[in-house]
Chains A and B, each alone.
Chain A
């Protein structure tokens, strides 16, 4: 019987229980408030519905806390209990093996009990189910108890003078704050773990060797000079921005100042589709189409120069993967970021300024050049900075098309590697979590985070100042 209880679908059960309790509590609270007001016992501060919400709130929240506690700890409690009852031979097992064994027990249990030939395994599985049944029953009991006491306490407070509406508003605010807190806590947690692991790395490798060293060879020998990675990152971001800044900006000017509503209505969404293409698609486009083309052109330039007698050595590296290929494709990828944001800020320039310029006999391009663009400049700069931070953090395109070799080379047809590529390389495949090789990924991640954070902060600041000027 207890073993059967081990199969209880706790998620659904809890959900149904909570829903039932909530609606029940709501009606009880409301009906009670209505009865008071029908009896004419003074004027109610809050409308009956709020009393209903109040009672429901105090019924559900304690129950929810219990349910969450079960979700977080339930399995661990069952395991801890089971481990205490295991035969002595198991305590000699190394902890990892034991936990793997318990995992397989719990898997077998969730599939409806074990009926194979291994009698010990089968016995343990059944015991596991029994224990689980006990814990589940206890949880349901406790949940009901919590909900019941919360319900009783809350119901007793329903009275004409009770400010249920304010309490419910307060509860709502607390709930919304919690949701916001989740996002903030996650960010803080990520930054903290980045910092912690980076500090462990810097305990083994001096920080200046990392930031200023020019030799990066984390995979084979322990060389952690990240300067070539920074160089590669910025080189590719620079190539990307050389494409994206003018194209994006001019596209934005065309869309906001020249295009008619019909052209704008169709071109703008198409441009924004670019932002929706998965970066991995850009990545193989870069690898399979752009990189070979660049290589062919580079080889042709080399041949021409050698034939013309300008050089005797090949002038360009002409690698199959290259900074130029990754940068070009990344540039196309960030065009919509530049154009969409710039378009917004150009549209935000008041029409009266354009009218003023037109009324003085300025042509369209004079108006754009002298009046609209200067007025929109801060916003345009912000959009460029956001695009840069996007380009620096971009991973998939560079993983596929930039190459793996860490070096400082101004030749755009040479292969380079970036911070993001190296993080991927360091953390894929076999990893152990205390070697400097793995830890260096965290240090790189921290650097990346700091760089993009600075760009975003500057961009936000600039946008804010711009807003103040026109609102």
Chain B
């Protein structure tokens, strides 16, 4: 327990700030002492983690280590699970989003999410993208909405492939295209943060490469948190990496540092494939 406290963010962040001032000027999200319980079972123990803006933070760790659960705290998706209880503070824009006064519906329009398996709605491509803007009343007119759909699809790198068949059902797209559609759908709501829960685990290497390029492109505008099982992916796309094990944040820091010179023995063992 002591070792986790010593490797906690406040000790490391000043140093990293000095190294890369343009990236880590200000944490977009500040998590303090997060504990998550499923019924009586505790899944996450006292996790404190700052998440910087306009960069990619990767959460890695073996299955069942709590990284997805932690990710789902950031947009309060855990609210949809009956037995789940979240304690601790998650500060975003000076507000604790765990506060009962915060409306999770509004929060989720600021924190978008992309899931493990592509999950387009069984509607047309156009309707998938326009759904978010419609329910949040973001578009003033039909032309406005068309523009938003185009912009979102362009940012997700899908526009050229689907511009001639926007009315086709989204299920007719390939797996990789569907996942980019889901990213476009999340972007269309104009979020500030995008959470990705193993977005490439159901995709082939070519589609994975496209999504990774896209993530690298998106980090210029958004704060991105990605859960991944692939160490190479974490190394390729992220600037900061946090290693979870058994519900505990073992180590976090610059991705380069984590992968080349981890401070913790457990991190090294996991990264080199000795367990996990």
Contact = CB atoms under 8 A, between A and B. Distances in A.
Nearest to B106: A361
A358 B80 contact: yes
B77 A359 contact: yes
A469 B122 contact: yes
A169 interface: no
Contacts of A371: 121
Given A352-B117, A469-B122, A360 B131 contact: yes
B122 A358 contact: no
Contact of A352 (B119, B123, B132): B119
Interface string A322-361: 0000000000000000000000000000101111111111
Interface residues of B, number: 28
B259 interface: no
Contacts of B182: 356
Contacts of B186: 359-360
Contacts of A355: 77, 80, 113, 115, 119
A357 B171 CA distance: 16
A95 interface: no
B29 to A, nearest CB: 16
Q: Is the interface of A mostly helix, strand, loop or mixed?
A: helix
A374 B105 contact: no
A361 B132 contact: yes
B185 interface: yes
A352 B77 CA distance: 12
B135 A366 contact: yes
A363 interface: yes
B105 A353 contact: no
A374 B122 CA distance: 8
Contacts of B80: 354-355, 358
A469 B132 CA distance: 24
A40 interface: no
B44 interface: no
Interface string A362-391: 110010001100110000000000000000
Contact of A361 (B108, B121, B195): B108
A360 B122 contact: no
Contact of B109 (A353, A361, A374, A375): A361
A311 to B, nearest CB: 49
Given A352-B115, A352-B117, A260 B123 contact: no
A352 B120 CA distance: 9
Interface string B76-93: 010010100000000000
A206 interface: no
Interface string B103-129: 001111100110101011111000000
A469 B113 CA distance: 24
A99 to B, nearest CB: 66
Q: Which of A354, A357, A361 has the most CB of B within 10 A?
A: A361
A355 B77 CA distance: 8
Contacts of A469: 122, 171
Contacts of B109: 360-361
A261 B82 contact: yes
Given A356-B121, A366-B135, A361 B115 contact: no
A371 B122 CA distance: 8
A47 B89 CA distance: 68
A360 B77 contact: no
B135 A360 contact: yes
Interface string B213-241: 00000000000000000000000000000
Nearest to A376: B122
A450 B123 CA distance: 35
A352 B106 CA distance: 20
A361 B77 contact: no
Contacts of B105: 361-363
A360 B108 CA distance: 6
Nearest to B188: A360
B264 to A, nearest CB: 32
A371 B182 CA distance: 15
Contacts of B112: 359-360
B50 to A, nearest CB: 23
B154 interface: no
B46 to A, nearest CB: 26
B136 interface: yes
B267 interface: no
B75 interface: yes
Top 8 A-B pairs ranked by shortest CB distance? A361-B109, A359-B113, A352-B119, A361-B108, A360-B132, A356-B119, A361-B105, A375-B122
Interface of A: 260-261, 350, 352-363, 366, 370-371, 374-375, 469
27 contacts: A260-B82, A261-B82, A350-B119, A352-B115, A352-B117, A353-B122, A354-B80, A356-B119, A356-B121, A356-B182, A356-B185, A357-B131, A359-B75, A359-B108, A359-B115, A359-B186, A360-B109, A361-B105, A361-B107, A362-B131, A363-B105, A363-B135, A370-B121, A370-B131, A374-B123, A469-B122, A469-B171
Given A356-B185, A361-B135, A375-B122, 15 more contacts: A355-B77, A355-B113, A355-B115, A358-B80, A359-B77, A359-B108, A359-B112, A359-B186, A360-B108, A360-B112, A360-B185, A361-B107, A361-B136, A362-B105, A370-B121
